[in-house]
Amino acid sequence: MSTGLDAGLTFETFVVGPANRLASAAAHRAAESPGQGYNPLFLYSASGLGKSHILSAIAQHTERMNPEATVRYETVEGYLDNLTRALQKGDEGIARDHYRESDVLLLDDVQFLTGQAEAQEMLLRTLDTLTSRGGQVVLASDRPPAEINDLDARLLSRFSGGLIVDIGQPDYETRVAIIRRKAEDRGAELAPGVAEVVARYPFGNVRELQGALNRLLAVQELEERTIKEGDVPGILGVPPGGGDGPAKESATAAPAPPVAPPRPEESAPPPEPAWKSAFREVIEAVEAAGFSSQRLRRHLDGRAEPEDWREVLRQLRADVDRLREMKAELERLGNPWPEAAATLLRDPERIEEAENLLASARERARSFPSVTPGPDLGALADRFPRLAVRAAEETMAGERPQYNPLYLHSTEEGRLRLFLEGVARSYRAQHSGARVAMISVPEFAEEFIRAISDGVAGAWRERWWTVDLLLLHKVEGLAFTERAQEEFFHLFEALKRQGGRIILTGDRPPGGLEGVEERLRTRFEGGLVVDLGKDEGSSTSRAAEGEERPGHPASSGPDPSEGEDILSALRAFAGVVEDEQAAAARGASDAGGVLETAARVADDREEWSPHRERVVWVWPHLNERIVEEDG
């Protein structure tokens, strides 16, 4: 809590009327959005009309909204004392920084800057520095800036560049409301008509009004009786409408003779309309619960009965209930934007903005599609090239993966999906609670379109940027898209910066992707590109194995049970020692026991012929190839 301020002087206890409505609204904005509205905000009025109350309310509301904010309240006298001590100690820089580092600076009694050249110069520099860094400045004075003698022209210019607001004397209705509110704050009960009689006295300010109320309550408490409206003139000494204020009694003066109570038609105003009483009750309940009631206060200030005032009350109650529901749901969702929520969830007039915030929070917390249970990458390893499996394992395990992104390509979409699903299961088993997203490019683009339609694109983007492992397949679907490519590029860069892992799959190598921006294609190629090949158990692969090609005898396929023995015999016979890493790079599979040729090219070009001296044929059933020659 800022020092020098009364904890009871809040916006909730500040009675708003026509004379102070603008000042109250501007103060609310300064407290809820420091530095974004009227800066500086300059309030002025005669003494006792609520300037200090508003300063205190701004301080407490700001600290409630943002407990980390630095709020400083000073009177100009205190400001001058600090400056004087700093100058004497040679610590002017420390004193200057003390104010410049504030988020909100509240300065009261600015009129005392008169003739203080050094203080004005220091305040000028403080204002410039604080406002330039987004801080809020609120000043209060008993006169407008132009009437402060010897005020530096530069300061006058700064004050005029913000908002200057006059607080006038409260009207009769506002005085009645003030008396009732202050009696309630004291826990006292006033008899009917008493507040109305006191409000008719021509008090010059709210302090005098409160002093009169204090006197009535003191008599009521000491004499243990309820003060009636007819007793008021005898206690205050002046009948309503007479003199310049309550009589000032001296210590030796005899008590004022009782004054005949005024006629009922003079002292008792007409009873308050039912709608006003109902509005006041709801205002008190709503503000006590921590919500804004400005919607109802505007109706009270306007004095005209709303067309359907019961519906106005019903709608306000419904909005307050809805704000409570949204607050509870936001807390369940983790409330990713607490500062914005704190402001919106208190104001029924901003309920649409609160609904938008909730929709964004729902999008932000939405889970990614789950991968169905099944074998992990280790269980599937014998079905894929060893290089691809090892690269995926390194991508999952490394703190800063060497191959990022890992790009896999194959003409068999099912084979690519099977690999990615195995990776997803392995990664989740290794990293409990990790955020894994497996999605195709068409699904990614459709999600983005939905987010735009729902007005939650920002939250959608934030959600994707939290991914630990991104598995994106059908990359060829990026071709000739616009926003999808743009969004994926920014996602790619964000994940790379924060250490996210990226594995991509497509039906062709990155160099063959058409309609994909060069900046994306080069990033795909900048990681590791691996040909995942074909599934040897698929009909497509079996047909390919049975096809005769130049220099290749037709075969019905290998027998896994015999492959290893035959392969070893052939290697020994041919004198060829096959390097495992070279075999993996060419996509050979030891588990299948097939080595087509030591010189086979990886891209299977259409025209190919074997080297005459380095060809090794693999025949799974060797006995079928033996030709016996007659004696």
pLDDT in tens, 38-96: 888 999 988 888 888 999 999 988 888 888 888 888 888 888 787 777 777 766 566 56
H runs (alpha helix) in 186-308? 194-199, 206-222, 232-236, 264-267, 274-288, 294-302
Phi, then psi, of 352 in degrees rounded to 5:
-65, -40
Query: What's the CA gap between 54 and 43, in Å, rounded?
Result: 9
Question: Residue 339: helix, strand or coil by DSSP?
Answer: helix
- Residue 435 gets the label, from left (phi > 0), alpha (psi -120 to 50) or beta, of beta
Q: How many residues does the chain have?
A: 631
- Whether the CB-CB separation of 456 and 360 falls below 8 Å is answered with yes
Q: CB neighbours of 298 closer than 8 A, spacing ≥ 6?
A: none
Question: Is 0.95 topped by the overall pTM?
Answer: no
User: 106 - beta bridge partners?
Assistant: 73, 138
CB 471 within 8 A of CB 388: no
Cα–Cα distance, 262 to 411 (Å, whole number): 101
Predicted confidence at residue 96, as pLDDT, reads 64
| pLDDT single digits (tens) 201-223 | 877 778 888 888 888 888 888 77
H or E stretch covering 106? strand 104-108
Q: From residue 490, how far is each of 469, 497, 499, 523 by CA, in Å?
A: 16, 11, 14, 12
Closest CA to 70 of 140, 6, 130: 130
125 touches 29 (CB < 8 A): no
DSSP state of 406: E
pLDDT at 531: 93
State the number of CA atoms in the 13 A half-sphere of 223 facing the CB. Answer: 12
Residues of the chain with pLDDT under 70: 1-5, 90-98, 237-270, 398, 536-631
In this predicted structure, what is the pLDDT of residue 234? 78
> Distance between CA atoms of 155 and 149, rounded to whole angstroms?
12
User: What's residue 85's pLDDT?
Assistant: 77
Is the peptide bond between 560 and the residue preceding it cis, with omega within 30 degrees of 0? no
Q: Cα torsion for 290, 295, 296, 299, to the nearest 10°?
A: 160
Q: Of 16, 6, 7, nearest to 293 (Cα)?
A: 16
Report how far residue 261's alpha carbon sits from residue 83's, in angstroms, rounded to the nearest whole number.
Answer: 56
Structure tokens that stand for 53 in this block: 């109350």
**57 phi/psi in degrees, rounded to 5:** -65, -40
The pLDDT of residue 398: 67
163: three-class secondary structure by DSSP? strand
Q: CA angle at residue 605 from 599 to 607, to 5 degrees?
A: 90
| Domains of the chain (ranges, CATH numbers) | 21-166 (3.40.50.300), 172-247 (1.10.8.60), 274-365 (no CATH), 377-531 (3.40.50.300), 549-625 (no CATH)
Query: Where is 546: in which H helix or E strand?
Result: helix 539-546
Residue 390 CA neighbour count, 13 Å, CB half: 6
Percent of the chain at pLDDT above 70?
Answer: 77
Tokens of 458: 């920002």
Neighbouring CB atoms inside 10 A of 419's CB total 24
- Report CA 225 to chain centroid distance, whole Å: 55
